[in-house]
Amino acid sequence: MSWKFFRGKRDPVYDEILDRIKGYDKTGDRSLVHVRLDDHTILLLNQLKLATGIEMQRMIAFAVSELIRQHPELRTIVKQFLLKINE
């Protein structure tokens, strides 16, 4: 059964975030990163794929991108570290 079948049956509030994740453009992404996740998170990501059609790689790329966007201090920490080791 297609996940699209359930789109009209779920709360429209969920559609906003799901559309943002599905619309996340990763066409230019060429780097591969091996991540370790706990069993619960893997299970949830697999179930999310079944429920929405969003693959695990897209979800992780979106989540990391959003984390960095919402917390610009992470970039500052990296910049300060690089400046310090280049002194």
Global pTM value = 0.78
pLDDT of 60 higher than 70? yes
Who contacts 11 (Cβ-Cβ below 8 Å, separation ≥6)? none
Interatomic CA distance for residues 82 and 85, integer angstroms: 5
**Per-residue pLDDT, 28:** 83
Domain ranges of the chain: 3-85
Mean pLDDT of 26-44: 91
Which pLDDT band, with edges at 50, 70 and 90, does 87 fall under?
Answer: confident
pLDDT of 56 higher than 90? yes
pLDDT of 4 higher than 70? no
Which pLDDT band, with edges at 50, 70 and 90, does 61 fall under?
Answer: very high
